[in-house]
Amino acid sequence: MIRTADQPRMATSRRVRRTLAAFVVAALLTAGCTLPAFAPRTEVEGAAAPTGSAPSWRPCPEVADELVGRGAPNVRYECARIAVPRDWGTGGGASTGPGAGQTFEIALLRARSTKQRDRVGSLVINPGGPGGSGVDTAVYLSFGPQFGGLPASITERFDIVGFDPRGVSRSSPVKCISDADLDASFGFDPDPASQSAFDGFVGLSQRIGRGCGDRYGDQLPLYGTEQAARDMDAVRAAVGDDKLTYLGYSYGTLLGATYAQLYPQRVRALVLDGAVDPQQRLVEGSESQARGFERAFTNFTRWCAANAGRCPIAPDARAAVTSAIDKAKVSPVRGADGREATAGWVFYAVISSLYTESGWQELAQAIDKLAEGDPKDVFRLADAYAGREDDGHYSNLFDANLAINCADETEKPSREQIRQLQSEWRGKYPLFGPALAVGMLSCVEWPGGRDPYPTGKANGAPPIVVVGTTGDPATPYEQTPRLASMLGVGRVLTWEGEGHTAYPQTSCITNAVDAYLLDLTVPPEGKRCPAR
């Protein structure tokens, strides 16, 4: 798959950050506040409460201050930590394997409106990735719909609780890939055609895998999804809810689906937005993404042709983007700081822009400026996707992403199979197919054992709302009914829009999801919401 399984709410968080940045700059202009591409991670301090005991919550307005420059109006932020077993064992019982007797610390943030009334409980959030920070996302979503956040009907009835899953950001983070290797990985030719170039990517993947294996050894499988889903039940208990109310985006739908299978009787309401099909394996999932991104890119090119005044690379946007990548393979444009916009960086700027329809114009402008010798916007888009800061340092998003994805994955196609798929998918999905095929090497060369998640019915769970977007590139819409069907209690809600994930983008989607979260009113069978 493309570096991340889906890069779910990172794109949405990026949109929220851009909107909030304008707001913060306007409101706090004299202080010179702006939002960095990736804000620093404030540690959630304090001793971790043991599993099953009540955590000690403390005020933490500094998290919002560092992420956004200020907190949302009428919102209090509190943080806590809980300790969970590194290995929950079979069925959640005691384990004697790697990590037995040891714990991970899980960081929590609770955003509570000062206008809260008739409280329902806590709405637990996961933004996807895997590797996205739920703590950060809870802050972003607390700012309300005018800034891309949750509606007041939700924030005034629920505590919004974000948690960083094990290995992610503030929760015993995995960090084992150097900034130099991440630069090399993102900058690598997305379609290494020659055997020597392909072997070069194999070698890079092996080096990354060895580094992580040397650091974490036989505990690498402990970062998998089933373990994290069991942590979620500890989060539910920590916030004092008898049953879980949950909003999961993209990879977060897989986490929620796994929870529903493990603890069906403890589900109150789950919204799974940007559905991942848990039953698809590595090759099938990678091809699904290749198809989804190709479809989204085609939609972008059609928009470009119909909106030439806003798209400087019209009328043939596909040719312009393809040409930019091809030129970058032989003579990459050098930025003011000496960094080269190689084919990989241009490719990831394209990927980044397809997560939201609002990113289409940014992509067109970035490619146009690149042709004029200015790669700044290409780097801005790609760096936002990669989690690369201005100083060249990376968050642990992709360390965690690999650790989680590869712990989950049991399928390991051979290098020869991947090489063949690279050729086949180049014909079927010319811009994205080769990269999705070659990207599978990251898990193929990953060390350690595997810990696959369950893929069955959520017998005994109440109806679960599964939301899909017809133009979604990262979790293509076809996966939505498959997840709903697998669970057996899924109810599909469709948004006929573009980009990755749907809630709360339109009133139709928002009203349907709010009614379910607040009153457990399940959307009618087959409900579809128009793009606008």
Sign of the CA dihedral running 303, 495, 11, 397: negative
Report how far residue 108's alpha carbon sits from residue 225's, in angstroms, rounded to the nearest whole number: 18
Judge whether 393 counts as a catalytic residue. Answer: no
Q: How is residue 116 written in tokens?
A: 């809260």
Count CB-CB contacts under 10 A for residue 389. 16
Cα–Cα separations (whole angstroms), residue 435 to 28, 150, 223, 439, 443: 42, 35, 25, 6, 14
Burial of 361 (0-12, 13-18, 19+ CB in 10 A): middle
**Residue 194 in 3-state DSSP?**
coil
Residue 493 CA, chain-centre distance (Å), reads 20
* DSSP H or E segment with residue 329: helix 317-330
Q: What is the DSSP string of 250-292?
A: THHHHHHHHHHHH-GGGEEEEEEES---TT--HHHHHHHHHHH
Cα–Cα separations (whole angstroms), residue 251 to 142, 181, 305: 21, 25, 33
Catalytic residue among 164, 231, 273, 472: 472
Beta carbons of 67 and 249 less than 8 angstroms apart: no
Judge whether 472 counts as a catalytic residue. Answer: yes
Report how far residue 421's alpha carbon sits from residue 54's, in angstroms, rounded to the nearest whole number: 51
Query: 314 CB contacts (<8 Å, ≥6 apart)?
Result: 304, 305, 307, 308, 364
Sign of the CA dihedral running 415, 421, 423, 429: negative
Catalytic residue among 142, 185, 250, 395: 250
Report how far residue 114's alpha carbon sits from residue 72's, in angstroms, rounded to the nearest whole number: 11
Report how far residue 376's alpha carbon sits from residue 469's, in angstroms, rounded to the nearest whole number: 31
Beta bridge partners of 113: 75
Backbone φ and ψ of 293, nearest 5° = -70, -35
Beta bridge partners of 269: 245
Name the residue type at position 417.
Q
Catalytic residue among 169, 277, 442, 500: 500
Beta carbons of 89 and 211 less than 8 angstroms apart: no
241, 262, 276, 279: which is closest to 460 by C-alpha? 262
Beta carbons of 28 and 69 less than 8 angstroms apart: yes
Q: What is the DSSP string of 390-455?
A: TTS-B-SHHHHHHHHHHHH------HHHHHHHHHHHHHHSTTTHHHHHHHTHHHHT--S---PPP-
Q: Which residues are catalytic?
A: 250, 472, 500
